[in-house]
Amino acid sequence: MEDAPVKKAQAGAPAWVMTFADLMSLLLAFFVLLFSFSEMDKQKFKELSGSMRDAFGVQREVPAFNPPIGTSVIARDFSPGMPTPTDQDQVRQEAIKELTEMRKQGENEEAENDLLEDLEKVLNYLEVEIAKGVVEVQSDGERVITIRIRETGSFPSGSADLSNDFNPVILKIARLTNEIGGRIAVAGHTDIVPISTDRYRSNWELSSARAVTVLEQIVEKGQLDPARFQVAGFGATRPIDSNDTAEGRARNRRVEVILLRGGSLDTEYAEGVSREASAIPDQ
């Protein structure tokens, strides 16, 4: 029996390989095209990478992701707002306003700290006189310190002549005004009991005369610039206590040395810089 003839293989690759190669090329081109249209969410990728690091024990103190730039809490995609018109040649960011407000806030805090230091200095200087009830010290918490000189121990009743025993207190106040600086207002006050003497026709004249006396003594003993001072007499118009009792009337008879740190003395005092004195209690 004769053997069957052996078929010889044709040279080259089979015909189906060409079809398969074309299919692979088309699939590769298709996936490359899909990838080119895709957009990687860097935010999620960084969060995922950070979570993976934490899961495998690679922990960091600083989070592995940063907040996205140019996104909103409400919507990821948003249109830009309308630009704010300006008359300036340069357009600056709105953040400059916030920076300015922060600086102003810092300056206010610094001013408050300076006021507290000055208030502590006044209290230390006049500690003995405050304990004796000769003077009172009060502050508005912003930039005004009021040294209130009571009539007891300073002026005889119905007189604007300062007692000699009160000169050491005036000297202390003069040194304080020299160290603290700023503008100073001296205001005289009386109670509602009318006065009419050969020297003073009314409480207005008496309160003004006492304020002038204290001002002149402070300027003379402290050798201060008179331009820093302003004087006023309010009579009985600004009581700090009830005029129905002897104790209340005694508190109302006073001279106030008002230390105003910064600002215009004329404007501030015309509006009532001594705020605690302007609050009239219920009678």
Q: Give the CATH number for residue 209.
A: 3.30.1330.60
Instruction: Please name the helix (run of DSSP H) or strand (run of DSSP E) that holds residue 259, with its range, or none.
Output: strand 254-260
For residue 256, what pLDDT is reported?
A: 95
Q: Is 252 a member of any domain?
A: yes
What does the alpha-carbon distance between residue 123 and residue 138 come to, in Å, rounded to a whole number?
10
What does the alpha-carbon distance between residue 265 and residue 261 come to, in Å, rounded to a whole number?
9
Q: Is 159 helix (H, G, I), strand (E, B) or coil?
A: coil
Q: Is 186 a member of any domain?
A: yes
Q: Is 40 a member of any domain?
A: no
What does the alpha-carbon distance between residue 186 and residue 251 come to, in Å, rounded to a whole number?
17
In tens digits, what is the pLDDT along the chain, a chain of 283 residues?
A: 555 565 665 666 677 888 888 888 888 888 888 777 666 666 666 676 666 666 655 555 555 455 445 454 445 555 555 556 655 555 444 455 555 666 666 666 766 778 888 888 899 989 999 999 899 999 887 778 999 999 888 898 888 999 988 999 999 999 998 888 889 999 999 999 998 888 898 999 999 999 999 999 999 998 999 999 999 999 999 999 999 999 999 999 999 999 987 544 544 444 444 444 444 344 3
Which range marks the domain in which residue 249 is found?
Answer: 119-278
Instruction: Give the residue from 132, 121, 200, 205 showing the smallest Cα distance to 165.
Output: 132
Instruction: Give the position of tokens 């501030």.
Output: 268
Q: Is 188 a member of any domain?
A: yes
Q: Is 145 a member of any domain?
A: yes
For residue 107, what pLDDT is reported?
A: 60
Q: Is 35 a member of any domain?
A: no
**Structure token pair of residue 32:** 């490359």
Q: Is 128 a member of any domain?
A: yes
Instruction: Give the position of tokens 């024990």.
Output: 57
What is the domain count for the chain? 1
Q: Is 158 a member of any domain?
A: yes
For residue 282, what pLDDT is reported?
A: 41
Q: Is 263 left (phi over 0), alpha (psi -120 to 50) or beta?
A: left
Q: Distance of CA 51 to CAs 58, 64, 66, 68, Å?
A: 9, 8, 13, 17
Instruction: Give the position of tokens 């309160």.
Output: 207
What does the alpha-carbon distance between residue 174 and residue 169 come to, in Å, rounded to a whole number?
9
